[in-house]
Amino acid sequence: MAEIIQATFRKVNELAELANPDEISLIPTTRNLCAIVDREFAAQVCLYRWYAHIPHSENIYAVADIGPGRASLQRLVMSLANPGTTVEDFKHVSFKNKFGFDCRLENLLKKDGRQSVMRNRKPKRNTSSQFKGVMKKERRSGTIFWRGQICGNFGTMSLGSFEDEERAAVAYDAASHLMFEGSGYLNFPERPPDPDALEDVRWRITRFHMMQAKKLAKKKEG
């Protein structure tokens, strides 16, 4: 994590030196870092406290508590650049230069496509659970348990079985947080990700990708 923070610090400085100083502003975040935005948005952006968020070992983003939940800096900038919209209208924003602390409008891309739809889609009606990514199951003994899963272009990944429906929903939120970089639908948007659920999901993601790689290798061999 220290390497990511140091690399982010260096990259921000490099980009700031190349930019016109009259056109950009540096927005302070936690971890003694700054993100870059267009100066025209700086006053509104500075109304919030920004956190340096590292959902993956190689990624970093600026997020803040905006309204009822958290939102990323890139989503706020997109909404400010489009009057009449809110951060909720921009669920999936990526970066041309793949650097999450460069939130200048020219560097932002609104993502579309099936994966974007899948990651933010709300639960279907008349499902067995009130939560997204949770299914009600019955054992042969007649007892009830809850199974979690998450879907996207990567396929469908199991999140395990739970005796408690809410714990399954918490597991889904942890997976959404990790796999969709904080921009996916959350059952509990007001809560931070559960540490135990995050640890379990990280292990499941690693195992899932290993299994996919093995299947692909066997398919090529065949």
For the stretch 171-208, pLDDT in tens is: 999 998 888 766 677 888 778 889 999 999 999 988 88
User: Which of 48, 83, 110 delimits the end of a domain?
Assistant: 110
State pLDDT tens for residues 86-138.
888 887 788 888 899 999 999 998 754 444 444 445 554 445 788 989 999 99
Q: Say if CB 73 and CB 61 are below 8 A apart.
A: yes
pLDDT for res 44: 95
CA distance 222 to 216: 10
Tens digit of pLDDT for each residue in 14-27?
999 999 999 999 99
Q: Is the same domain home to 83 and 37? A: yes
pLDDT more than 70, % of the chain? 88
pLDDT at 9 > cutoff 90: yes
Q: The pTM is what?
A: 0.53
Residue 60's pLDDT is what?
A: 87
Domain boundary among 57, 89, 110: 110
Same domain? For 67 and 142 the reply is: no
Predicted confidence at residue 195, as pLDDT, reads 92
Mean pLDDT (the chain, rounded): 85
State whether 144 and 88 are in the same domain. no
Domain that holds residue 204: 114-221
Sheet with 61-66, side-by-side order of all strands: 51-53, 61-66, 69-72
Contacts 24+ apart (CB under 8 A), 157-163: 157/204, 157/205, 157/208, 158/204, 159/133, 159/201, 159/204, 160/200, 160/204, 161/137
Same domain as 99, residue 7? yes
CATH of the domain at 167: 3.30.730.10
pLDDT over threshold 90, residue 54: no
Average pLDDT on 52-80 reads 85
pLDDT attached to residue 12: 95
Taking the C-alpha atoms of residue 202 and residue 219, their distance in angstroms, rounded to an integer, is: 26
Q: Report the chain's C-alpha Rg in angstroms.
A: 20
The pLDDT of 68-84, averaged and rounded, is 90
| Rounded average pLDDT over 75-82 | 93
